[in-house]
C-alpha cells in the first residue's frame, strides 16, 4: 500500500504564495462588489424609478451570465492561464458598473446583468481555484483552496459597509463609479499570473475540456453534485439580492442589512477554513450535505420567526459561516474524482447549475414580492430546495472517475 505523503514547508513555494495572495485579493474584490449590489435596490427604486422586479431580473441575468460564462472562462484559464482571463474580466466589471450607474434599462440589464455576470465568471472561484489547484502540490492543495475561499470573502466585510456609508453621503450613481474604479484595479493584479497555461507543478497533462466534460457527465456523483449546486445558488443569491429590501420592510435601518452582509463576509472566512478541515477529517460528501442542512435551518428560523436587528445580524453570521464554505469540499471532490487539469471547465459546467438557481432565486424573489407584497413564498421555496439538496448530496457517488468505464 502506498504511503500518504504529508505536506512540507517546501510545498509552499514562493510562486504558490504569490499566486495565493493575488488570487485572494482578486476574489475578495470581486465578491465584495458583487455581494454589495443588493444595497442599491432601494436607492435605484427611488432614484431611477426601477421596480423591485426589474432590479431582481437584472441581478438574475447577472447570475445567469455568470453561469453561462463560467465554463468558457474556466476552460480558457485551464488552457492559456489566468492572466488574460482576469485582465479582460476586470475591465468588463468596471464597464458594467459604469453602465449600471447611468440608471437606464440598458445600463441595468446589459451592464449590471450581462457584463458584470461575465466579469464575475472570470474573477471568481472557477478560474482562481483552478489556477491554485494546478500550482499547489497535493499535500497543500486543499488548505490553499480553503485559505483562498476564506480570504476571498473578507472583501464583503469591508466593501458592503463602505458602500452603505457612501450611499448615506453621496448619490448611488457616484458610489457605483467608485466601485467601477475598484473593479478596474483588479486588472493590475493579473500580471502576477502566467501568460499561458503552465501553472501545473507536476507532469503536465494537456487540458481537454470537451473530453473532460463528457467524462464528467457520465459520472453519477458529478451529476448529483451539480444538481445540489442549483439549490446553493437559489438560496444564496436570493439572500444577497433581497435581504436589504426584506430588512427595510421589517422596519429596520439600511445599516442593519449592510452590517449583516458584512458579517456574511467575516464569518465566511472562518467557516470556510473550519469546513475545509472538517472535510479532510470526516469526508467532503458528508460535510457538504450538512452545509445544506444547517443553511436551510438558518433560513427557516430567520424567515418565520420575529425579525429584529439581533436576529438579522445572527442570520448574517450563520449564513456567512455556511456561505462559500461549499467551495473547499466541492473543489476537493472534483479534484479527487477528476484531477486538477480540467478543473476550471468542470467547475464551470457544475457552476452553471448553481447560476440557474441563482437566476431563479433573484428573479422569482422579486416577482413574488411584486405580486403578493410579501417574501413569504420565496422564503418557503428556499427551505424546500435546501432539504432536497441535502438528500441528493448525501447520496452522491464520489468514487474517482475511470475513463471508459460505466458506473454501476
- H/E stretch holding 248 reads helix 220-249
3-state class of 69 per DSSP? helix
What contacts 282, CB < 8 A, 6 or more positions away? Answer: none
Spatial CA neighbour of 77 closest among 137, 125, 16, 26: 125
What is the distance between the alpha carbons of residues 79 and 2, in angstroms, rounded to a whole number?
31
Q: Where are the domains of the chain?
A: 16-198+218-394
Has residue 124 got a pLDDT over 50?
Answer: yes
**How high does pLDDT run on average in the chain?**
86
Max mean pLDDT range (136-145, 172-181, 192-201): 172-181
Instruction: Report CA-CA distances (Å) from 179 to 98, 185, 188.
Output: 9, 10, 15
* H-only helix segments in 102-253: 105-106, 116-122, 125-135, 138-152, 154-169, 172-184, 186-189, 209-216, 220-249
pLDDT (average), residues 245-256: 87
Which pLDDT score, from 0 to 100, does residue 10 have? 67
Has residue 408 got a pLDDT over 60?
Answer: no
| Widest pairwise Cα distance in the chain | 67
Max mean pLDDT range (38-47, 165-174, 244-253, 356-365): 165-174
Superfamily name and number for 16-198+218-394:
MFS general substrate transporter like domains (1.20.1250.20)
What contacts 5, CB < 8 A, 6 or more positions away? Answer: 138, 139
Has residue 133 got a pLDDT over 90?
Answer: no
What is the distance between the alpha carbons of residues 170 and 369, in angstroms, rounded to a whole number?
28
Has residue 137 got a pLDDT over 50?
Answer: yes
Give the model confidence (pLDDT) of 306-345 as tens digits. 999 999 999 999 998 998 888 889 988 998 899 888 888 8
Which region among 136-145, 226-235, 274-283 has the lowest average model confidence (pLDDT)? 136-145
What is the distance between the alpha carbons of residues 27 and 129, in angstroms, rounded to a whole number?
10
Could you give the angle at the alpha carbon of 107 between the alpha carbons of 105 and 112, nearest 5°?
Answer: 110
SS3 content of the chain, % helix, strand, coil (to 5): 80, 0, 20
Indicate the pLDDT class of residue 407, thresholds 50, 70 and 90: low
* pTM for the structure as a whole: 0.76
Which region among 68-77, 132-141, 282-291 has the lowest average model confidence (pLDDT)? 132-141
Give the model confidence (pLDDT) of 42-99 as tens digits. 888 888 888 877 887 888 888 789 888 988 898 888 888 888 999 999 999 999 999 9
Indicate the pLDDT class of residue 203, thresholds 50, 70 and 90: very low
Indicate the pLDDT class of residue 404, thresholds 50, 70 and 90: low
What is the distance between the alpha carbons of residues 173 and 323, in angstroms, rounded to a whole number?
28
Which pLDDT score, from 0 to 100, does residue 2 have? 40
Torsional class of 308: left (φ above 0), alpha (ψ -120 to 50), beta (otherwise) = beta
Spatial CA neighbour of 124 closest among 163, 158, 82: 82
% of residues, the chain, pLDDT over 70: 93
Residue of 382 and 405 predicted with greater confidence: 382
What is the distance between the alpha carbons of residues 203 and 47, in angstroms, rounded to a whole number?
56
The cell for 302 is 430567520
What is the distance between the alpha carbons of residues 20 and 133, in angstroms, rounded to a whole number?
11
Neighbours of 202 (CB within 10 A): 9
Number of residues that make up the chain: 408
Contact yes or no for 50/223 (Cβ under 8 A): no
Indicate the pLDDT class of residue 138, thresholds 50, 70 and 90: confident
Which pLDDT score, from 0 to 100, does residue 205 have? 64
Residue of 9 and 286 predicted with greater confidence: 286
pLDDT (average), residues 99-118: 92
Which pLDDT score, from 0 to 100, does residue 1 have? 37
What is the distance between the alpha carbons of residues 18 and 197, in angstroms, rounded to a whole number?
17
* Secondary structure E strands in 165-308: none
Amino acid at each position: 500500500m502506498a504511503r500518504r505523503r504529508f505536506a512540507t514547508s517546501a510545498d509552499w513555494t514562493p510562486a504558490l504564495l504569490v499566486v495565493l495572495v493575488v488570487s485572494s485579493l482578486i476574489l475578495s474584490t470581486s465578491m465584495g462588489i458583487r455581494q454589495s449590489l443588493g444595497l442599491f435596490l432601494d436607492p435605484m427604486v427611488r432614484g431611477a424609478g426601477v421596480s423591485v422586479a426589474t432590479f431582481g431580473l437584472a441581478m438574475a441575468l447577472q447570475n445567469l451570465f455568470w453561469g453561462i460564462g463560467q465554463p468558457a472562462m474556466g476552460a480558457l484559464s485551464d488552457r492559456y492561464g489566468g492572466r488574460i482571463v482576469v485582465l479582460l474580466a476586470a475591465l468588463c466589471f468596471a464597464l458594467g458598473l459604469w453602465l449600471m450607474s447611468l440608471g437606464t434599462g440598458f445600463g441595468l440589464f446589459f451592464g449590471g446583468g450581462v457584463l458584470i455576470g461575465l466579469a464575475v465568471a472570470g474573477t471568481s472561484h472557477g478560474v482562481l481555484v483552478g489556477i491554485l489547484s494546478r500550482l499547489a502540490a497535493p499535500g497543500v492543495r486543499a488548505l490553499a483552496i480553503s485559505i483562498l475561499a476564506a480570504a476571498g470573502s473578507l472583501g464583503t466585510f469591508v466593501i458592503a459597509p463602505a458602500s452603505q456609508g457612501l450611499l448615506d453621503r453621496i448619490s448611488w450613481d457616484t458610489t457605483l463609479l467608485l466601485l467601477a474604479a475598484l473593479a478596474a484595479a483588479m486588472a493590475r493584479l493579473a500580471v502576477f499570473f502566467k501568460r499561458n497555461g503552465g501553472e501545473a507543478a507536476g507532469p503536465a497533462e494537456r487540458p481537454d475540456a470537451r473530453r473532460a466534460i463528457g467524462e464528467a457527465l457520465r459520472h453519477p456523483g458529478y451529476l448529483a453534485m451539480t444538481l445540489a449546486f442549483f439549490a446553493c445558488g437559489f438560496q444564496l443569491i436570493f439572500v444577497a439580492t433581497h435581504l436589504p429590501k426584506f430588512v427595510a420592510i421589517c422596519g429596520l435601518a439600511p445599516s442593519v442589512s449592510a452590517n449583516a452582509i458584512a458579517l456574511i463576509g467575516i464569518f465566511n472566512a472562518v467557516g470556510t477554513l473550519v469546513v475545509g478541515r472538517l472535510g479532510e477529517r470526516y469526508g467532503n460528501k458528508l460535510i457538504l450535505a450538512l452545509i445544506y442542512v444547517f443553511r436551510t435551518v438558518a433560513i427557516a428560523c430567520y424567515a418565520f420567526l420575529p425579525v429584529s436587528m439581533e436576529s438579522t445580524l445572527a442570520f448574517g453570521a450563520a449564513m456567512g459561516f455556511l456561505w462559500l464554505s461549499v467551495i473547499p469540499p466541492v473543489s476537493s471532490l472534483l479534484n479527487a474524482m477528476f484531477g486538477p487539469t480540467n478543473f476550471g471547465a468542470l467547475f464551470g459546467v457544475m457552476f452553471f447549475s448553481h447560476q440557474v438557481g441563482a437566476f431563479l432565486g433573484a428573479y422569482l424573489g422579486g416577482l413574488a414580492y411584486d405580486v403578493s407584497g410579501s417574501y413569504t413564498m420565496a422564503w418557503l421555496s428556499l427551505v424546500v430546495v435546501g432539504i432536497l439538496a441535502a438528500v441528493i448530496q448525501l447520496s452522491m457517488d464520489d468514487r474517482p472517475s475511470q475513463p471508459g468505464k460505466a458506473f454501476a
